[in-house]
Amino acid sequence: MACDGTTATVQGHRAHLHRRTPSAGIAAETVVLGDPSWAGPLAGAQLGLSVYHVLEEELRDAAPADVREEQVGLMSDVLDVDAIAEAVREFRDQAPA
């Protein structure tokens, strides 16, 4: 593995690292392109799922306001929602057709 601080290359596969939201990007990459660590059961298995984070606008607007506030209201106040959405969208856009 080689890493320059923003991009990692593992066995020829490149992954952009999001310093503020690494878990969102890693989770999205795993279900879209396969396990980036090449150590788990999804290593090399491209599921191609359209992954979304619960804080993204598309999902946020689909939930009733009272449920959304109770379940994720505080998270949307303290997390960097735009960075999370960008990290997840980056891998969603790479999903095989």
Domain count, the chain: 1
- Give 40: exposed, middle or buried? Use CB within 10 Å, 0-12, 13-18, 19+: exposed
CA 34 and chain centroid, separation: 12
Range of the domain at 35: 2-92
| For helices 81-92 and 22-33, angle between their N-to-C axes, nearest 10 degrees | 20
Q: Please compute the mean of the pLDDT values over residues 35-49 and round it to a whole number.
A: 84
Residue 97 lies in a domain: no
Say how many residues make up the chain.
97
User: What pLDDT score was predicted for residue 88?
Assistant: 92
Backbone phi, psi, residue 94, to 5°: -90, 0
Residue 26 lies in a domain: yes
Question: How far is residue 85's CA from residue 59's CA, in Å, rounded to a whole number?
Answer: 11
Residue 9 lies in a domain: yes
Q: pLDDT digits over 46-88, tens only?
A: 888 888 998 998 888 888 999 989 988 888 888 899 999 999 9
User: What pLDDT score was predicted for residue 19?
Assistant: 47
